[in-house]
Structure 1
Amino acid sequence: MLHVYATLQTLGFRIKNRIQRDETGATAVEYGIMVGVIAVAIIATLMLLGPQLNALFVEVNTQLKGIGTTPTTP
Structure 2
Amino acid sequence: MDILKRFCRDENGATAIEYGMIAAAMALVVIGLWTTFGPAVGRLYADVAGAL
* Class of the TM-score when normalised by the shorter of the 2 chains: 0.7 to 0.9
Counterpart for residue 54 of structure 1: 42
When the two structures are superposed, what TM-score results if normalisation uses the length of structure 2? 0.78
Q: How many residues get paired?
A: 49
% identical equivalent positions: 35
Which structure 1 residue ranges, 4+ long, deviate > 2 Å from structure 2? none
CA RMSD after TM alignment: 2.3
Structure having the higher Rg: 1
Q: Secondary structure at the match of 1:29?
A: helix
Q: Which runs of 5+ in 2 are unaligned?
A: none
Q: Which runs of 5+ in 1 are unaligned?
A: 1-10, 65-74
When the two structures are superposed, what TM-score results if normalisation uses the length of structure 1? 0.57
